[in-house]
């Protein structure tokens, strides 16, 4: 067809020019074929490694209890959902999964989405719009920021975990808007620190703001497995919107929101990423149910990832870990990439995180800990980092 060759040539030229820029900035990403084995073990090119880069904090993705539940559901119900839940009907396994999520998180109801990203780009625009205000932590996950942009609401980003700034913004801007949504990660995925939720709950209540936490990295590992809303004491904090994923400590896939029954009912009609997405496969639902049952029944196992993270931070004289995520900030992207390569040669997979995922000048190793990391695994990693990464200038 006329113009097709020229269009393809200009498209490829565009792609190559962008790739060259990314290459120069050390920001080009590549995919490495990698097979997951038992616990924290990965295999690449016939060699096995100990991974400190996985969000499967409880190693439930390969746990026999979870795998068997998924297999049984696969045999009984087939491989796929067929359509959205509103079209083909809501599989009975959804009721079981959502009731378990609501019970674990101390809410009236829950709604499962296709992924955490789909959850956030559906929830936020369904709750606020052009006449409303969103206050969001500057280091919040990209999907919270995407949901914010899609909503059309006025956006104010406050400095990371800065409650004085959040309070000041609420005092100045809240009265100008119909509704106000306050967004934060419960556990920040690149820094591993917690949002100061007790203070945020107080500020939200004082200004009639709706607080929403993205607890992707809190569920299953903090607060006895119940997440960041339970990490500050024996009682649940009054966080009305507890969002999270089933792809980290739960070991599977999907996202969810735990909230009041009326909010959940509204989202079933208004969250576009729910209404217009095919449901999750039955095996994924069954695996998540088994994982949540395991989390509720095994508090000592649930406590292991944080314990291993604190063993690591103590050994390297780093600030005490608040979650299973520990950053080793190195600054320049090439330094982080070199550190990752050196650790790989010693048998460890630890991913280098670079801009734009993290702010410029804060490239890092993102070290994550799981329940099946042994103390010896952690000590061996500490030794490798001392030898190859934190070498005195």
Q: pLDDT tens digits for 231-275?
A: 999 889 999 999 999 999 999 999 999 999 999 999 999 999 999
Residue carrying the six token digits 């949901």? 147
List CB contacts of 99: < 8 A, sequence separation 6 or more: 110
Query: Looking at residues 45-50, what average pLDDT do you find?
Result: 94
Is position 189 annotated as part of the catalytic site? Answer: yes
Is position 207 annotated as part of the catalytic site? Answer: no
Domain count across the chain:
2
List the domain range (segments joined by +) for residue 332.
27-56+303-388
Residue of 217, 228, 247, 273 marked catalytic: 217
Residues 100, 234 within the same domain: yes
Residue of 53, 169, 189, 273 marked catalytic: 189
Residue 30 has pLDDT above 90, yes or no: no
d(CA 183, CA 176) in angstroms, rounded, equals: 18
Is 12 part of a structural domain of the chain? no
Tell me, what's the pLDDT at 384? 96
Residues 98, 184 within the same domain: yes
Read off φ and ψ for residue 260, nearest 5 degrees: -70, 160
Residues 355, 377 within the same domain: yes
Is position 335 annotated as part of the catalytic site? Answer: no
Residue of 105, 207, 248, 373 marked catalytic: 248
Query: Looking at residues 307-327, what average pLDDT do you find?
Result: 97
Residue 4 has pLDDT above 70, yes or no: no
Residue of 6, 55, 36 lying closest to 351 (CA atoms): 55
Is 20 part of a structural domain of the chain? no
Residues 252, 374 within the same domain: no
Residue 393 has pLDDT above 60, yes or no: no
Is 114 part of a structural domain of the chain? yes
Residues 371, 240 within the same domain: no
What CATH number should be reported for the domain holding residue 225? 3.40.640.10
22-36, 197-211, 279-293: which has the minimum mean pLDDT? 22-36
Residues 115, 237 within the same domain: yes
Is 19 part of a structural domain of the chain? no
Using the 3D structure, point to which of 297, 315, 335 is the last residue of a domain.
297
Residue 171 has pLDDT above 80, yes or no: yes
């Amino acid at each position: 067809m006329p113009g097709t060759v020229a269009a393809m040539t200009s498209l490829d030229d565009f792609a190559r020019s962008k790739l060259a820029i990314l290459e120069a900035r050390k920001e080009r990403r590549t995919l490495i074929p990698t097979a997951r084995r038992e616990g924290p073990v990965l295999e690449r090119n016939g060699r096995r490694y100990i991974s400190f880069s996985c969000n499967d904090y409880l190693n439930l993705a390969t746990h026999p209890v979870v795998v068997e539940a998924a297999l049984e559901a696969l045999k009984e119900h087939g491989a796929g959902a067929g359509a959205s839940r509103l079209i083909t009907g809501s599989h009975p396994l959804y009721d079981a999964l959502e009731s378990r999520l609501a019970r674990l998180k101390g809410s009236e109801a829950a709604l499962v989405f296709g992924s955490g990203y789909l959850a956030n780009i559906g929830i936020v625009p369904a709750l606020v719009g052009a006449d409303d205000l969103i206050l969001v932590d500057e280091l919040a996950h990209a999907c919270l920021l995407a949901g914010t942009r899609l909503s059309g609401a006025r956006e104010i980003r406050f400095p990371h975990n800065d409650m004085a700034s959040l309070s000041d913004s609420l005092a100045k801007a809240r009265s100008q808007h119909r509704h106000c949504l306050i967004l934060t990660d419960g556990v920040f995925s690149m820094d591993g620190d917690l949002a100061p939720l007790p203070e945020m709950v107080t500020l939200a209540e004082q200004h009639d703001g709706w607080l929403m936490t993205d607890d992707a990295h809190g569920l299953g590992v903090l607060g006895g497995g119940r997440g960041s809303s339970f990490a500050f004491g024996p009682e649940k904090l009054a966080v009305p919107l507890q969002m999270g994923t089933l792809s980290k400590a739960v070991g599977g896939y999907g996202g969810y929101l735990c909230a009041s029954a009326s909010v959940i009912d509204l989202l079933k009609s208004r969250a576009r990423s729910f209404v217009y997405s095919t449901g999750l496969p039955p095996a994924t639902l069954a695996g998540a149910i088994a994982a949540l049952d395991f989390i509720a029944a095994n508090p000592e196992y649930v406590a292991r990832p944080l314990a291993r993270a604190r063993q690591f931070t103590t050994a390297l004289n780093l600030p005490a870990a608040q979650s299973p995520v520990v950053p080793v900030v190195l600054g320049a992207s090439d330094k982080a990439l070199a550190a990752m390569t050196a650790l790989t040669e010693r048998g460890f997979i630890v991913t280098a995180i670079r801009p734009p995922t993290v702010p410029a000048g804060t490239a890092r190793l993102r070290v994550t800990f799981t329940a099946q990391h042994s103390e010896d695994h952690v000590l061996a990693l500490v030794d490798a980092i001392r030898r190859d990464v934190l070498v005195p200038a």
